[in-house]
Amino acid sequence: MFEGIKAVGFDLDGTYLNTHVDYDRINRADRDACIRHGIPFDELSFTTIKRLRAPIREWLEAHGRGDEFEALGKEIDAELTATELQYIHEAKAFPGSIECVRELKSRGYKVGLLTRGSHEYGVKALTMMGVIDCFDAVVGRDYADYDDAKPSPKAMQYFSNELGVKTTEILYLGDNRTDYYSARDAGAAFVGVLSGSMDREGWLKEDPDMTTVQYAGDVLSLL
């Protein structure tokens, strides 16, 4: 079904692993930090599926406080990572996830993780599952500029660089639109999983030709 694939990539939460993350805390991290620093967060304009930090930087620069942006970003990132790690001990592999990556490696594919979580979170989660040795690359939101993380296609391009393949040679599996948009816009093949935030009907609204599987481990049947 998918030809010319040299690497298989996975999203983490809801795709490769069944995790417990306090997304309410995640989603308010930037707002809370801005309020602490006197930035009128609710007056800023955020127009993308995932909030970028560019509006925060622009406000700081417009008010002569541009030199504060880097430290503020680190403060937000620390809160995000702490939240991701809070319940990491509850993470469980979806059916077939562990066996899948070992089989992919035996077939000669490169395997990687591309997540909006931090690199630390991704590495610790895979280490807990005993499969870190199967992954050729782990790329998190902190690989480059925050605004380059998924759904930006730049995230997939960074991922391909780490894997040593072209984006068109990657088959990426994810459970939400940010995963799909990053893959699609970078030219990578994509399969939607049904183990996370999207059901088949939702995926077909995004793309009537979308290939879906119940679990990420089911990708073996497509290669």
Write the burial class of residue 26 (CB in 10 Å: 0-12 exposed, 13-18 middle, 19+ buried): middle
Strand positions, DSSP E, 110-217: 110-114, 137-139, 170-174, 189-193, 211-213
| Average pLDDT score over the chain | 97
CATH topology of domain 7-19+90-222: Rossmann fold (3.40.50)
How high is the pLDDT of residue 209?
96
Q: How far apart are CA 174 and CA 13, in angstroms?
A: 9
Are 207 and 185 spatial neighbours (Cβ–Cβ below 8 Å)?
A: no
Strand 137-139 relative to strand 110-114: parallel, antiparallel, unpaired? parallel
Q: Where are the domains of the chain?
A: 7-19+90-222, 23-86
How high is the pLDDT of residue 1?
77
List the chain residues with pLDDT less than 50: none
Rg (CA), the chain: 18
Q: How far apart are CA 34 and CA 28, in angstroms?
A: 10
How high is the pLDDT of residue 49?
87
DSSP helix, strand, coil percent of the chain (3-state; round to 5): 55, 15, 35
The model carries a pTM of 0.95
